[in-house]
Structure 1
């Protein structure tokens, strides 16, 4: 194993997913702490998850580091820990070393991503406590979309202090940036000038990529907007949101929109697209049709933003594995011509590791 390892971390409310990459950017180990604060478990590599008391994130990180040592990886060989941060707010876009100033900016963006950023901060603080000398790096899911023009990013709101942070930030940026970086190696062909990229998973979005840069994307102020998703509503009138908040209260409305809608809400069964494909019911079929319809409808908007289209790339769990969804989307877009399409395996963590090594100017960078 090449030493000078990078630990890539994706921390959520009840889980921490971590992967270790060596100097050649080969993944050497994957660990996941599950059910943090609930019935905890630790999964190391491909082995079954084992029950483990994980009352908080710091305990979970302690267990992760212990598991590394159990697999023969000395934590002293870690060059850095790199975190996927969902929201960089208005100021953070480039991958950077986490300083007190950067941490404060991530915290300031927490109200913009209340379901994500607080857990990222918890992970950063837990690692800082356990390994205070280990450099930590932040990569931002909003960063790739900083090239969107102002007319695409700004909502039609008055210029006031209370609206200053309200803009279309876009998300899944690390996935799209990785797709662009890996396109030639994966497909054997150059990046199309105007590429429609589809990140389709439990969270889903589209990105219009022209000359390798994002010019439009379907997610906006939060990861809630845009396409139909696993449990998220996607496109919905702001007036309908105000109505829900008025009738249900803020917390219940937020739970409905984030956790009870999307494929789950439409089918009344599940958010799992595989299970829906195997279910012979009108509701299951409608949920899949709704998913594909809104991909197609918003693809038209992305194509317009690019001024045409030269290729389509699918990534993410559904994009890579659900041939039925891909075929339906491509059939619905035949009006745009005979468009070449590719499947690009998601490689967000590897991309974060690559950026981290380059940022730290590690001599083992390959």
Structure 2
């Protein structure tokens, strides 16, 4: 296809967008923008691919905040789509359930189905769908494509997908789905570009950010992952607890009197780094603090990450490479050092100088496990998957 694609990544407190010019299989970034602080102090920043600043301003958004943001996006991109008409919008959708293993052209029935998955992603799914509905209202003629964060994991090892609960519930779709799939799709593609041999290796990819997960990957496909039916499971995160004993949840209900709503808020918003430290969900803040609670939170994050990396290796019966990605993984040399030091028993040895420089390969020559940094790019995957659907008239594949 030829034209432009708008890639939209809507979160609970931010909205990222990118405009790509597409000619056949060539994708060129035209501009990128982001609305931040939607729950407190809204701010818009937009730059062209060259780095030229288009907007950098604080906003006053009314009750129809998201509609206002989308109208602003159309105003911003209009001059850039005169000669390359906007063909479609690609939306990051957190959860596709058991039904979708590929991007899909959205219609009323699909949107209704995705609404039923909101309980599996209460932080993200409502924001994702709000943008879809508003775009369909503002520009009903413009195709809207859903690109699912769960799709990459649909065919993980059945033993990893199944929970040990009565079959009557697993038959209804209560299983491990996994998330950050757009990021892992990009990393799998980069591994193939670097080397087909590298792509075939047993790799653990560490997507570490405010939301964190791991993916055990071989031959470019997911074998296992840390997040489960919801993005609450797995690693300790900025505000999310990660996996905890279900008995603890029961005790909080029975002994502490917490309601389901109280528990949801605590586990999604008040746990993880901010819960343990009582200071901040931001690792940068905690690493700069001399408060012992901050150090305890950081140590627990490292402990959680290394324990789960070992679990991912067990799922593949070995590990040949470790890939760091996302905000923390790409930018924090100290966190990479702390994690890799705890993996020395597996044969991980860092090249400290390469690590400090954020080099592509940060393991020492003698390291049994190769350690890499690969910056992720979820938005370009959104654009490519959207172009594929528009170009082929695809309507998504039902998962087996």
Distance 1:38 1:206 in 2: 31
Name the structure 2 match of 1:348: 378
From 312, 324, 343, give the equivalent of 1:333.
Answer: 343
- Aligned-pair RMSD on alpha carbons? 2.3
Name the structure 2 match of 1:27: 29
Distance change >3 Å, CA 134–CA 51, structure 1 → 2: same
1:55 Cα deviation (Å)? 2.2
From 215, 222, 235, give the equivalent of 1:207.
Answer: 215
From 237, 240, 246, give the equivalent of 2:248.
Answer: 240
1:75 Cα deviation (Å)? 10
Distance 2:183 2:210 in 1: 14
Distance change >3 Å, CA 14–CA 310, structure 1 → 2: closer
Name the structure 2 match of 1:44: 46
Name the structure 1 match of 2:353: none
1:102 matched to 2:119? no
8 Å Cα contact 1:37-1:54 kept in structure 2: no
1:144-163 pair list within 5 angstroms: 144-160=152-168
Name the structure 2 match of 1:306: 316
8 Å Cα contact 2:2-2:84 kept in structure 1: no
Name the structure 2 match of 1:9: 8
Name the structure 2 match of 1:275: 285
8 Å Cα contact 2:4-2:84 kept in structure 1: no
Name the structure 1 match of 2:17: 18
8 Å Cα contact 1:231-1:263 kept in structure 2: yes
8 Å Cα contact 1:84-1:140 kept in structure 2: yes
- The unaligned stretches of length 5 or more in structure 1 are none
1:68 matched to 2:62? no
Distance change >3 Å, CA 35–CA 312, structure 1 → 2: closer
Instruction: Kindly tell me the number of residue pairs found equivalent between the two proteins.
Output: 360
1:72 Cα deviation (Å)? 4.2
From 127, 137, 144, give the equivalent of 2:135.
Answer: 127
Distance change >3 Å, CA 188–CA 92, structure 1 → 2: closer
* Per-residue deviation, residues 224-251 of structure 1 (Å, max 9, x unmatched): 1111101111121111122224422122
Distance 1:187 1:265 in 2: 41
* Per-residue deviation, residues 333-355 of structure 1 (Å, max 9, x unmatched): 12222211110101111111112
Distance change >3 Å, CA 280–CA 88, structure 1 → 2: same
* Per-residue deviation, residues 73-95 of structure 1 (Å, max 9, x unmatched): 44981111000011111211211
1:116-195 pair list within 5 angstroms: 116-160=124-168, 164-185=172-193, 190-195=198-203
Distance 2:195 2:293 in 1: 37
Distance 2:5 2:151 in 1: 21
- Partner SS, residue 216 of structure 1: strand
Distance 1:192 1:289 in 2: 32
- The unaligned stretches of length 5 or more in structure 2 are 48-52, 348-367, 393-400
